[in-house]
Amino acid sequence: MSATLAADEALARRRAAGERVLSMASGEIGLPVLPALADRLAAAATENAYGSVPGSPALRTAVAGYWERRGMPVDPDLVVAGPGSKSLLFAVLLAIGGDVIVPVPSWVSYAAQARLVGARPIPVPIRPGQGGVPDPTRLREAVADARASGRRPRAVIVTVPDNPTGTIASEATVRELAATARELDLIVVSDEIYGDLVYDGSAPAVSPALHAPERTVVTTGLTKNLAVGGWRTGVARLPDGEPGRALHTRLVAVASQIWSSPPAPVQAAAAYAFGEPPEVVERVAASRRLHETVVRAVAARFTAVGAKLHPVAATCYLYPDFEPLRDHLADAHGVHDGDALAALFSERYGIGVLPASAFGEPGRPLRIRAATSHFYGETAERRTAALEAADPPALPWIRESVDRVGEALADLTGRADLAGLAGPADLTGAQVPSALAPHP
Amino acid sequence: MSATLAADEALARRRAAGERVLSMASGEIGLPVLPALADRLAAAATENAYGSVPGSPALRTAVAGYWERRGMPVDPDLVVAGPGSKSLLFAVLLAIGGDVIVPVPSWVSYAAQARLVGARPIPVPIRPGQGGVPDPTRLREAVADARASGRRPRAVIVTVPDNPTGTIASEATVRELAATARELDLIVVSDEIYGDLVYDGSAPAVSPALHAPERTVVTTGLTKNLAVGGWRTGVARLPDGEPGRALHTRLVAVASQIWSSPPAPVQAAAAYAFGEPPEVVERVAASRRLHETVVRAVAARFTAVGAKLHPVAATCYLYPDFEPLRDHLADAHGVHDGDALAALFSERYGIGVLPASAFGEPGRPLRIRAATSHFYGETAERRTAALEAADPPALPWIRESVDRVGEALADLTGRADLAGLAGPADLTGAQVPSALAPHP
């Protein structure tokens, strides 16, 4: 079971039972649908034909335009749409065959999907701060070892920008990964679902498709930039050239046997979104600003208590490392690893986070992933207000969540004096606030 | 690549190129969305959360009611919704593991899906007229052989009512299949997507879930009864008891890694549909009547020229056998098998049908599957008129398609004298009509 989806469901049950829980487990984007986008879906409600397996020509043409505007033109016939980029990643792995190199840490589903298709995931650590890209040097060693022992690695997955670390691998790292993949004859599967959520517009994430165009499959979707995860819509960009076209043929065959075609009404709305009219561009920009301000506010709470954190450059994720606090966590809470740390967040503070182990990290790292995308409000009104606010962390409901994280961290680390520091809100008075009481 | 989807796309290309083609290849239902159903989808266009992996409680409760009204009550917690029953069948096979017995003939995707999940399909013929259910006697032999050779058959797929034959296995056959599955410790995967399209309401298809409730997974959807194939919505009913609940857990885990959850707006509409308010019941009844009248008109054309056809009792499919015409087909057209026969229909008459080989039939049977579900008109207005007509085959555009089949069959069999017989329309005059001219 997907760890993020399982965590979300567990938190939803607790909330339904009356508990005051704060979800930082899944990266589901808690924002409303852009009204113009919902209108497009509603207008397409009478569309009921299967249509083309890889998606309608209108959708594939719009997606090709989306990539062309990012310096990655593509023949619309090499675009494949599916019910979510997750589904496409699964089908791509099935169509490629062979074992799969996954970065460590990386999104919960890559390794699980590899196992489901009968492949073995081969974990390769990232370089510090270069989230989502297996260290090319260690990639070379791991593939040599795997091949020496009779395994058949055929693909390497990368995530730019990265989940869970919120970092973006540098162009140098991506270029080196691309060259190594070519040297090792690996297909690069580049998950770029966070591509539009890079905070600094002058420093976009670099796709391996620019450096190894003949062997890179790119996937993205509307789940993260337009908050329509529940619509299930993703797209893949296949490489040109004979091997890429052969892979396209296999991918479409797999798609035809698993899901037939993406939901037709959603395709119509997605074609509009990938066309990026001004209102869509504005909404994505507003979401990006919102994520950035809230992530920065929360990041400050983690660093204030001494957790280490690579600067978050994209997404709505923080991946703090409590290693500097290892002794205190052991002494005060009997916590020796990320799993126990995540359990403590959940049980003592009612805050759902995921441990490093969910992202494939071995050993006993004191790392967790915390997503801020559920902070924007429980109602459409609040969420819209969050999108429109000049200073979102100053909104009372967002401030409350950020403060709650700060208070939990202060209690956790025995630094109650720091609870209110480095955030937009100050805690006055020396009393431990009620939110610090152990969670029922 | 799915043979039905591939055939549809090929025909669509020919039509776009200006050819006059008649699609009888795929069973996509050429009918409009019930307006009230489209309204529900449109009203749910702002729903963008993933929600629960197996589908919303509202949807699962509605689906449980649907099955309860058919004498098959189920705990809503054992209902799993997905993006199409095709997706669910794939995930069920993956969750079960092991090899899979498939009936011969059977729907194009079962064997393909089994191969995709790394299993081997084990073909077992049906008994004559008992479409969709592997002959229990031969099933026992096949499983014994497979186990003796080290294979691990774990599931048997049945289709009631059946695609491609349009027949419904008798209760005796289903009961015997269920008993044999229990004896052999096989899980029964019962595809009941045509369950609402049984012409005779007093003789519904019998589900193996009634005879082997502890080991039968049932799947269905809204694709066939409400013509929303392009919406991608299916549901599965898992068996109660410990093994069934364990399978449910595995199925939900697989679903969480492949598609996360069914599209949220579609779930809202599906919950309404599975609740079966009067207008939905009426629409399904009208569709059923339409299918029946058109299938009967077309069936008469096939039998008039001497093809054999088991009485069609459900669906919109005919599976005629041209064996009695083997000598003529060989002499006049050089046709010796179903593939050549289907090619002749396509090339000479512009009529798309599928050969028996697409349904896993070995050897050189002169059988094809012909679907009538594209006959209802090219526009929403005509399709609605077809639904509302007292005598649909008398509508000019349906009559034209039925006549075209009759004329093709007359030419094919050298029985031009029979072209107009047994149908609602008469061909007067001895001249070969223009539709008989070889197709460009």
Cross-chain residue pair B265–A43, CB shorter than 8 Å? no
Of A46, A84, A263, nearest to B33 by CB-CB distance is A46
Does the CB of A265 have a partner CB in chain B at under 8 Å? yes
One DSSP character per residue, B190-257 reads: EE-TTGGGBS-TTSPPPPGGGTSGGGEEEEEESTTTS--GGG--EEEEPPSSHHHHHHHHHHHHHHHH
Q: Which residue of B has its CA nearest to A29?
A: B49
Q: Tell me, what amino acid is at B298?
A: V
User: Residue B262: which of B216, B224, B225, B221 has the closest Cα?
Assistant: B221
Chain B residues within an 8 Å CB radius of A262 = 232
- Burial readout A331-350 (b: 16 or more C-beta within 10 A, e: otherwise): eebebebbbbbbebbbebbb
Give the residue numbers spanning the domain of B391: 3-30+280-436
**What percentage of chain B exceeds 90 in pLDDT?**
89
* pLDDT at residue number B435: 35
Same domain for B215 and B299?
A: no
Check if the beta carbon of residue B54 is closer than 8 Å to that of residue B63: no
Q: Tens digits of per-residue pLDDT, A133-190?
A: 999 999 999 999 999 999 999 999 999 999 999 999 999 999 999 999 999 999 999 9
CA distance linking residue B105 with residue B111, whole number of Å: 11
Distance from CA of B336 to the nearest CA of A (A): 29
* pLDDT at residue number A420: 55
Distance from CA of A265 to the nearest CA of B (A): 7
Same domain for A267 and A284?
A: no
Boundary of a domain, candidates A216, A246, A276: A276
Cross-chain residue pair A229–B48, CB shorter than 8 Å? yes
Same domain for B286 and B389?
A: yes
Q: What is the largest CA-CA distance in chain A?
A: 69
Does residue A204 carry a pLDDT above 50? yes
Same domain for B242 and B318?
A: no
* pLDDT at residue number B176: 98
Same domain for A296 and A322?
A: yes
Same domain for A354 and A373?
A: yes
Same domain for B348 and B261?
A: no
Distance from CA of B95 to the nearest CA of A (A): 9
Chain B residues within an 8 Å CB radius of A254 = 116
Cross-chain residue pair A48–B86, CB shorter than 8 Å? no
Does residue B434 carry a pLDDT above 90? no
Of A49, A86, A230, nearest to B263 by CB-CB distance is A230
**Beta partners for residue B134, in sequence order:** B126
Same domain for B223 and B288?
A: no
Distance from CA of A422 to the nearest CA of B (A): 32
**What percentage of chain B exceeds 70 in pLDDT?**
95
Does residue A431 carry a pLDDT above 60? no
Does the CB of B50 have a partner CB in chain A at under 8 Å? yes
Helical pair A242-258 and B85-96, crossing angle rounded to 10 deg: 90
pLDDT band at A257 (very low <50, low <70, confident <90, very high): very high
Boundary of a domain, candidates A276, A294, A328: A276
Does the CB of A252 have a partner CB in chain B at under 8 Å? yes
* pLDDT at residue number B439: 36
- Residue range B273-293: average pLDDT? 98
**Beta partners for residue A153, in sequence order:** A99
- Residue range B202-216: average pLDDT? 97
Check if the beta carbon of residue A189 is closer than 8 Å to that of residue A137: no
CATH at residue B105: 3.40.640.10
Chain B, 215 to 234: residues with Cβ < 8 Å from chain A are: 227-232
Chain A residues within an 8 Å CB radius of B261 = 5, 230, 232
* pLDDT at residue number B108: 87
Cross-chain residue pair B90–A42, CB shorter than 8 Å? no
Chain A residues within an 8 Å CB radius of B230 = 47-51, 261, 263-265
What are the start-end ranges of the E strands in B301-350? 317-318
- Residue range B213-235: average pLDDT? 97
Task: Count the domains in chain A.
Answer: 2
Chain B, 400 to 419: residues with Cβ < 8 Å from chain A are: none
* pLDDT at residue number A373: 96
Chain A residues within an 8 Å CB radius of B84 = 259-260
- Residue range A5-15: average pLDDT? 80
* B205 CB-contact burial (10 Å; exposed 0-12 / middle 13-18 / buried 19+): buried
Q: Count the neighbouring beta carbons within 10 Å of the beta carbon of residue B224.
A: 28
* pLDDT at residue number B126: 98
Strand pairing class (B121-125; B99-104): parallel
A112 vs A420, residue with greater confidence: A112
Does residue B431 carry a pLDDT above 60? no
pLDDT band at B283 (very low <50, low <70, confident <90, very high): very high
Does residue A422 carry a pLDDT above 50? no
Q: Tens digits of per-residue pLDDT, B315-332?
A: 999 999 999 999 999 999
pLDDT band at A419 (very low <50, low <70, confident <90, very high): low
Cross-chain residue pair B49–A84, CB shorter than 8 Å? no
CA distance linking residue B92 with residue B251, whole number of Å: 6
Does the CB of A257 have a partner CB in chain B at under 8 Å? yes
Q: Tens digits of per-residue pLDDT, B82-122?
A: 999 999 999 999 999 999 999 999 998 999 999 999 999 99
Same domain for B257 and B369?
A: no
Cross-chain residue pair A50–B94, CB shorter than 8 Å? no
Does the CB of B261 have a partner CB in chain A at under 8 Å? yes
Check if the beta carbon of residue B165 is closer than 8 Å to that of residue B295: no
Cross-chain residue pair A230–B45, CB shorter than 8 Å? no
**Beta partners for residue A79, in sequence order:** A237
- Residue range B365-394: average pLDDT? 97
DSSP B69: T
Of A1, A50, A230, nearest to B5 by CB-CB distance is A50
Boundary of a domain, candidates A221, A245, A276: A276
Does residue B42 carry a pLDDT above 90? yes
Interface confidence, given as ipTM, is 0.92
* pLDDT at residue number A418: 67
* pLDDT at residue number B420: 54
Same domain for A236 and A381?
A: no
- Residue range B208-220: average pLDDT? 98
Does residue B438 carry a pLDDT above 50? no
Q: Collapsing DSSP states into helix, strand and coil, what is residue B415? A: coil
- Residue range B347-355: average pLDDT? 94
- Residue range A97-122: average pLDDT? 95
- Residue range A391-405: average pLDDT? 97
Strand pairing class (B368-371; B354-355): antiparallel
CA distance linking residue A361 with residue A125, whole number of Å: 9
Does the CB of B256 have a partner CB in chain A at under 8 Å? yes
Does the CB of B92 have a partner CB in chain A at under 8 Å? no
CATH at residue A394: 3.90.1150.10
Does residue A440 carry a pLDDT above 80? no
Q: And the tokens for A400? A: 């409350």
Same domain for A288 and A257?
A: no
Q: Which of A5, A31, A87 to mutate to test the interface with B (most CBs of B within 10 A)?
A: A5
pLDDT band at B1 (very low <50, low <70, confident <90, very high): confident
Q: And the tokens for A23? A: 């979800």
CA-CA distances (angstroms) from residue A28 to A13, A104, A227, A373, B69?
17, 22, 8, 6, 37
Sequence-distant (6+) residues with CB within 8 A of A336 are A326, A329, A330, A364
* pLDDT at residue number A13: 84
Does residue B137 carry a pLDDT above 80? yes
Check if the beta carbon of residue A366 is closer than 8 Å to that of residue A339: no
* pLDDT at residue number A435: 36
pLDDT band at A6 (very low <50, low <70, confident <90, very high): confident
A286 vs A7, residue with greater confidence: A286
Of A28, A48, A83, nearest to B50 by CB-CB distance is A28
Same domain for A200 and A223?
A: yes
Check if the beta carbon of residue B85 is closer than 8 Å to that of residue B220: yes
Mean pLDDT for all residues in chain A = 93
A440 vs B140, residue with greater confidence: B140
Chain B residues within an 8 Å CB radius of A230 = 47-51, 261, 263-265
